[in-house]
Amino acid sequence: MILVTTAGKVGAETARLLAGQREPVRILVRDPVKAEPLAQAGAEVVVGDLGVPATVDAAMKGVSAVVLVSPAIPAEELNVIAGAVRAGVGHVVKITSKSSIDSPIARRRDQAEIENGLIAGGLGYTLLKNNAYMQNFLMSAPAIAGTSSFGSAAGDGRIGMIDTRDVAAVAAAIASSPADHVGKTYWPTGPESLSYPDAAAVFSTVLGRPITFHPLTYSEQKQAMVEAGVPEHIAEMNTQAITLFAEGDSDWVTGDVPSILGRPARTFAQFVHDNAAAFSASRR
Ligand SMILES: NC(=O)c1ccc[n+]([C@@H]2O[C@H](COP(=O)([O-])OP(=O)(O)OC[C@H]3O[C@@H](n4cnc5c(N)ncnc54)[C@H](OP(=O)(O)O)[C@@H]3O)[C@@H](O)[C@H]2O)c1
């Protein structure tokens, strides 16, 4: 049995893929109503909260591998790691990002703390240090649909961004067959490194209408996220990361996705095509 710790973008797709391969998979959720499609796809849905160790322990029964993905609050993910140690779990696939204990970005410090806790726990583990997600553009979908324009403080910085469906595919592949991946760190990316102006050109081609990019200042970027409903402290961390994009911090591409999956990583054009309705909603 594989336990997936949350049903967000990566977790839901991981559970769906595993269920589709007839791998026994359990997914922990706070709200089972949201997870009904996953139950219908064949995943076992359990109600819990990563902040409540008893619910984590209950979800660990009979589990051989865990896909650890969540908003990466150290106390919560360290609860999962402790629960996995208590339950004798063999392997943990940890979804993470660039991280270091002295990073200026709180989330990266938090990820480093969790990774260190996982390694110290003595379990088999694999770290997936993913580049930025293409799905971050879905936050700009209302602007792109409504005004055919989007803004960012990323400037001309290029990003080797990855589709979360590929993150999930890599996590599912490793969790169901961990032997070759024990103690390894991968740096999953998409197939190309694109700037936001490059992304605007892809949007224009795929959506068939001109989409423009406009630069934002740090405070405009943060304000836009807060107005989109992102909590203030998360908007701060995300804006810091976007500012680092402008400096080339995420301008890296690896072959980890194709080497693990045996097929190419999805392109940004594929992502836009598959989400075209969201970027065109006002025009339907
Ligand atoms: N965004 C990027 O560009 C990027 C890049 C690299 C790595 N990452 C990493 O990816 C991870 C986030 O993955 P994601 O994008 O799949 O997440 P996501 O879509 O934001 O979903 C988060 C999920 O966690 C659930 N959740 C939150 N707190 C919980 C708790 N205490 N107990 C149970 N469930 C809880 C939420 O459930 P509810 O519906 O109940 O709220 C939601 O389903 C983070 O570790 C992040 O650092 C992100």
Please indicate, yes or no, whether residues 48 and 141 belong to a single structural domain of this protein.
Answer: no
**Whether residue 107 is found in the same domain as residue 153:** no
Mean pLDDT across the stretch 89-110? 96
pLDDT of residue 283 exceeding 60, the answer is: no
In a domain, 53, yes or no: yes
Is there a single domain that holds both residue 77 and residue 94? yes
Q: In angstroms, rounded to a whole number, what is the distance separating the alpha carbons of residues 66 and 84?
A: 8
In a domain, 276, yes or no: yes
Please say which residue of 90, 107, 129 terminates a domain.
Answer: 129
Helix axes 232-246, 218-227, angle to 10 degrees: 140
| Least confident residue range of 6-20, 193-207, 220-234 | 220-234
CATH number at residue 201: 3.90.25.10
Q: Which of 110, 129, 148 is the last residue of a domain?
A: 129
Confirm whether 168 is domain-assigned. no
Question: Does 117 share its domain with 144?
Answer: no
Over residues 235-261, the mean pLDDT reads 96
| pLDDT of the residue at 282 | 57
Whether 76 is in the pocket of ligand 1, judged by its Cβ within 6 Å, is yes
Which residues constitute the domain of residue 125? 2-129
Whether residue 115 is found in the same domain as residue 140: no
| Separation of alpha carbons 284 and 278, rounded Å | 10
pLDDT in tens, 135-153: 999 999 999 999 999 999 9
- Ligand 1 pocket test, pick from 5, 47, 70 with the greatest ligand atom count within 8 Å of Cβ, gives 70
pLDDT grade for 284, boundaries at 50, 70 and 90:
very low
Please report, rounded to a whole number, the percentage of residues in the chain having pLDDT higher than 90.
Answer: 97
Is residue 161 pLDDT above 90, yes or no? yes
Residues 148 and 235 in one domain: yes
Angle, CA 71 vertex, CA 69 and CA 73 arms, to 5°? 105
Q: Does residue 91 share a domain with residue 149?
A: no
For residue 17, is it within any domain? yes
Tell me, in angstroms, the distance from the centre of ligand 1 to residue 5's CA: 9
How many domains are there within the chain? Answer: 2
Average pLDDT rounded to a whole number, residues 29-48: 97
* Cα–Cα distance measured from residue 72 to residue 86, given in angstroms and rounded to the nearest whole number: 20
Residue 182 resides in a domain: no
